[in-house]
Amino acid sequence: MAEKVAKTGVQRDDKNYLYFIKQGAVWRVPRKQPGVPKGKPEKIADAGIEMDYSYIYFLDKDGDIARSKRAVGGQKRKKKAKKAKKVKKVKKAKKAKKAKKAVKKVKKVKKAKKPAKKAKKPAKKAKKAKKAKKAR
C-alpha cells in the first residue's frame, strides 16, 4: 500500500486538471479537450522531498504526496516454445481436416460416375434374356 511522504493539503479539481509530482513539488496541467490548445503545467506546492526511483509518487485523495513501491520488471512471461508447439498441433489438425475433405470430394466424384456404368449393364442383360427366350 501507499505511505504518506508529505502533507500539502492541496484542494483538487479532478474534472479540469491532472496532478503529478515532479522534482519534489506538486504540479497540475489542464486536461486536454477537443478544440482547445495544450495547456502549460503550473507548480502548486513545493513539498521539498527527495524522490527515490524505486517508488512511484502521486497526489492522494487528501491532497498529500504519497508513494508506493514501483513494480520493476513486472511478471514473468510464459515460454514461447510451448505456444509454438500448440500452434503446430492446430496446423496439423487443420491439414488433416482439409485432406479428409479432399478425399470425400474424390469419392463423391467416383460415385457419380459408377451409376452411369451400371445403367448400361442391365440393358445388356435384358437383351441376353430376350435372346434366351427366343431360343427356347
Instruction: Collapse the DSSP code of 4 into the 3-class scheme (helix H, G, I; strand E, B; otherwise coil) and give the result.
Output: strand
Give the mean pLDDT of 47-57: 88
Sign of CA dihedral 86, 91, 94, 100: negative
pLDDT tens sequence across 79-129? 876 555 555 566 677 777 777 777 666 666 555 555 555 555 556 667 777
Dist. CA 51–CA 67, nearest whole Å: 9
In the chain, % of residues over pLDDT 90: 17
CB atoms within 10 A of CB 45: 17
